Amino acid sequence: MHPRKYLATLLCAVFFTLCSAQGFAQTATLSGTVTVSSGQPVAGASVMLKPGNRATMTDEKGNYTLANIPFGDYVLVVTSLEIQPIETPVALNRARQRRNLVATENDATQLDEATVSRSTEKREIETQGFAVAVVETKEASVRNIQTNELLDRTVGVRVRQSGGLGSEIEYNLNGMTGRSVGIFIDGIEISTYGSSFNLNNIPPAMIDRIEVYKGVLPAHLSGDLLGGAINIVLKKGNAANSMTAAVSYGSFNTLQADLSGQYRNPKSGFTAKVSGFYTSTDNDYEQWGKFSKYIEPNGVVTRNFRTKRFFDGYRTLGGRAELGFTDVNWADVALLGYNISDSYNEIQHGQTMGTPYMGRTAEAQAHVLSLNYSKRNLFTNGLSLNVNGVYSQRNTYVQDTIPWAYNWDGSIRMDLNGNPVRRPDGAQQGDPAMADIDRHITNIRTNLAYEVFAGHRLSLNHVFYTIDREDSDLLNPMGPDALKSTNGLSKNVFSFNYEAQTFKGRLRTNAFAKIYQQSVQSLTYKGSVINGQAVITENRIEDSRSNTGYGLAVSYSITPKTVLITSAERAVRMPHDNEIFGNPDQNVLASPAIQPEVSDNYNAGLRLGTFRFNQHGLDVSGNVFWRNVKDRIMPQTNELISQQEIEQTQYINLGLSQSLGFEGEITYRYKDDLTAMVNFSKFNSLFKQEFDPETGQRMTYYNKQIPNEPFFTVNGNIHYRFRNAIQRASELNLFYTLGYVHPFRTVWPESDWFVTPAQYLQNVGASYRFPNRKLIVSVDLKNILNAEIYDNFGVQKPGRAMYLKLTYTINNFQ
């Protein structure tokens, strides 16, 4: 569809939403109980009204209440692992109505409420109109699976990790990557927590779910991000009392352990939640791809050199404690949290495998204090407040002092005379470094929402971010008062949104506007000698700017099982400090007039299901997206070399790029036993500059795929559950996953060498839950065919590997 026409359609949708808002004001409250024929209450069952997908769960006594439902005809759907699903029509035409339901018991033993509640939540989020994939962590948390592996299997997500567990990661959402993709923890930018608490080490057991928003971002995830965001929602402290401990060991000496416990006193509402994790690995996996080289003293190269990585270890330790009150009359959540984390990472190489490093390490530590307060119906009905304030003190230390060049066999390279070869700049990656960086970050997110009348909600979201950074180089110590050039940054993002549910909840609209305000400061000192006298002059430049973005997300339930989802946003990416001020050290000129990058993002999708035929269930979803980035900020090199041949660069707004793609997912279920899923993502990231501005000639690569991006991926998985397989009341789960990445070029021209070949990654796994339901044992065999797997830049990933994990859980202690 033509973008303008598309926008017009969306505007019409808003118009109708606003008009229809006047149409009704009468609402009902539906309540009742769910029991089995014996009269036993069904606790934790999901109760949902369709259309509109308003949902709740039954309490311990089987009671449920759904308030503020617009009058109309609905279908009430009750599901639980314990019972056969119930679907019954209900007509709401009075303010208070009761409906008690009697369900048929399933022969399955006990229920697993968490799964039900999450799948409801997953669907709830996925049908809000945004192009969002919700990743569930429940199953992964008892298996030997990293959070990043889960993400990598998610439709439209590519995780680029330069090596094994712990190494640097970049996320690619349908072709957008780098700074255009934001990562959040509970809506707070992950950088606030430092690199010692990130997706490399947060165990899936600590995570409730991961939301992956592609392109269009809801108002509560505010950032100048063009490509989308990944929001990690950590487990909240208001679930049942439980304790879980897990330990996993496997290939490459990888040991992982995590421990978590939560307690809530039902009378006082006092809540305590503690969790901790530990990971250590050598990552000494074998590699043999074409970038694995052995170099002789005379420079002669042997490729496909089979060797083990020798300096890629990773170790991390962290803990998180939250104390406070939940579900009390003055707060839904009031938690004070403390998060501590520490990591040590050996860096085996840079972005590519070209040069192995020895002795380059990065250490990170972070102390993070957080305060989370949320309350619905604050002061008045319909007003809710959510504040998440985080103060973080984080430290990063990078050490790189070994001067020798290494070979991929782990030995120092020798020159023709038998002397060790030195790295060109004196250390592995560049100049010798013992860089110590302290950052103090304050990040406060506030959300105030008001339900004007049922189904219509206005909200205001504000994010304040400030960072104070101190660098010191231990190799070149300076006093605390030493003069240094510094840059500073603070930003505010205000967003407003208006959510509405109309046409009996079938149409949901979410219109939002975001105001980005950024101030950057640069302070440099210049020294000069005038008449033999040293004079220091201070040069302070400030730059404040603001910009506006806006968007709309719409979902429409054509039938309860057919939901149309569509969204559009004008997103902006503010220029960086060095793009505005330049950087004299690197011959980058200032560019005060630089404008933000702007991207128009559109998504449209369809979500079908669950269709049930007897015991079979089928879900299908598809999404088309279109992105148009304008005014891309790019460095422009001054090619006209002056007398002293200094090449200078200036950042300018130039260039267009466009992504058009589609993704789809099919899930098939048989009873509760078999689940098979296939998803794929294919996109074209196209070079869109059509003409050379100087000559007016048509560009050779106009409309061609931008290199270095895996643009077609397929993931599939099959999961089979055997009940009572070995012992009565036990549960055996078998898993198979397949990942495929289509070959892609790494340079513009056609060249056999610069192509990353097709990749097939196959994993199998099994988990066994003992009848006491406390202990789960799981085994995972990854990359079973020992295939060559690469990231975008030719870094080889681990071959065949095996892991064993034990998880022990105690539920419902008092």
Partner 1 sequence: MNNNQMKHAFFGAAVVAITIVGCAKENGPDTDTPGEADRWITISGSMMDEKPGDGNAGTMVYSVTPEQAKDPSVSINVFDKGMHVKSQRTARLQASVDGKFLYNIQYTGDDGGIFHKYTVHGGKDFRRDGAEVATADYVSSSPRWLKALEGVGIAVRGTANDTKYTGELPNITHQYTSTKIDAITLDLNDPKITKTTSFELRLSEVEEAAGYHIWRIDMPVVNKAKDKVYIGAGVRKLDPTSYTIGDDGVPEFDSDNDAPAAWAKTIVLDYPSLENPKVITSSQTRGSTNGYRSTMQYVGDDGHVYQATIGEGIEGGGSKILRISKDTDDYDNNYVFSLDQALGVTGSHIEAWKYAGNGIGIVVYSLVNGDGNRVGGHIARIDLNNGTGTKYSIPNEADLKFNQIQSIGIDGDDAYVAVAPVGQDGNIYIFDIQTGEMSVGAKLINKTGNQYIGVY
Task: Give the nearest distance from C-beta 219 to partner 1 in angstroms.
Answer: 34
DSSP characters over 511-545: EEEEEEEEEEEEEEEEEEEETTEEEEEEEEEEEEE
Our finding on whether 361 is near partner 1 (CB under 8 A) is no
Least distance CB 200 / partner 1 (angstroms): 24
Which of 22, 528, 812, 814 touches partner 1 by CB under 8 A? Answer: 528
The structure tokens 């290939």 sit at: 251
- Using the rule CB under 8 A, is 749 a contact of partner 1? yes
Kindly state the smallest distance separating residue 475's Cβ from partner 1, in Å: 10
Residues paired with residue 250 on neighbouring β-strands, in sequence order: 254, 803
Please answer whether residues 573 and 582 qualify as being in contact, where contact means their C-beta atoms are separated by less than 8 angstroms. Answer: no
Q: How far is the CB of 94 from partner 1 (least distance, A)?
A: 45
Q: What is the nearest approach in angstroms of partner 1 to the Cβ of residue 390?
A: 26
Question: Which residues between 772 and 811 bind partner 1 (CB under 8 A)?
Answer: 793-794
Give the Cα separation of 176 and 161 in Å (integer). 16
In sequence order, what are the residues at sequence separation of 6 or more whose Cβ sits closer than 8 angstroms to the Cβ of residue 714? 678, 679, 680, 738, 739, 740
**Spatial distance between the Cα atoms of 613 and 768, rounded to a whole number of angstroms:** 29
Is there binding between residue 353 and partner 1 (CB under 8 A)?
yes
Cα–Cα distance for residue pair 791/160, rounded to 1 Å: 6
The owner of tokens 């997500």 is 157
- Residues 622-661 close enough to bind partner 1 by CB under 8 A: 634, 636-637, 639-646, 655
340 contacts 278 by C-beta, under 8 angstroms = no
391 binds partner 1 (CB under 8 A): no
> What pairs with residue 813 in β-bridges?
none
Choice from 7, 90, 114, 421 touching partner 1 (CB under 8 A): 421
Write out the binding residues for partner 1, residues 198-257 only, by CB under 8 A: none
Between CA 128 and CA 416 the distance in angstroms is: 66
Residues in 547-606 that interact with partner 1 by CB under 8 A:
584-585
Of 39-47, 214-222, 475-483, 543-551, the segment contacting partner 1 by CB under 8 A is 475-483
> Which residue lies nearer to partner 1 by CB, 303 or 612?
303
Min CB(769)–partner 1 separation in Å: 18
- CB-based contacts of 777: which residues, under 8 Å, 6+ apart? 767, 768, 770, 804, 805, 806
Short-list 70, 110, 104, 71, CA closest to 87: 104
Among 170, 473, 543, 619, binds partner 1 (CB under 8 A): 473
Nearer Cβ to partner 1 (258/731): 731
Part of the chain binding partner 1 (CB under 8 A), chosen from 159-167, 191-199, 444-452, 736-744: 736-744
Residue 656, phi then psi, degrees to nearest 5 = -130, 150
527 binds partner 1 (CB under 8 A): yes
How far is the CA of 229 from the CAs of 146, 180, 217, 466, 664, in angstroms?
Answer: 19, 8, 7, 20, 19
- Contacts (CB under 8 A) with partner 1, residues 481-500: 482-487
Residue 1 binding partner 1, by CB under 8 A: no
Residue closer to partner 1, measured from CB, 33 or 583: 583
Assess 698 for contact with partner 1 (CB under 8 A). Answer: yes
List the one residue from 464, 496, 748, 808 that touches partner 1 (CB under 8 A): 748
- Rounded Cα distance, 329 and 325, in Å: 10
User: Please, what is the minimum distance in Å from the beta carbon of residue 396 to partner 1?
Assistant: 15
Give yes or no for residue 270 binding partner 1 (CB under 8 A).
no
Part of the chain binding partner 1 (CB under 8 A), chosen from 16-24, 139-147, 227-235, 300-308: 300-308
Q: Which listed residue (307, 442, 517, 689) binds partner 1 by CB under 8 A?
A: 689
Spatial neighbors of 752 by CB under 8 A, at least 6 apart, are none
- CA–CA distance, 227 with 763 (Å, rounded to integer): 30
- For 718-735, letters b (16+ CB in 10 Å) and e give bbebeeeeeeeebbbbbb
State yes or no: residue 519 binds partner 1 (CB under 8 A). no
- 397 touches partner 1 by CB under 8 A: no
Give yes or no for residue 301 binding partner 1 (CB under 8 A).
Answer: yes
Q: Which is nearer to partner 1, 242 or 355 (CB)?
A: 355
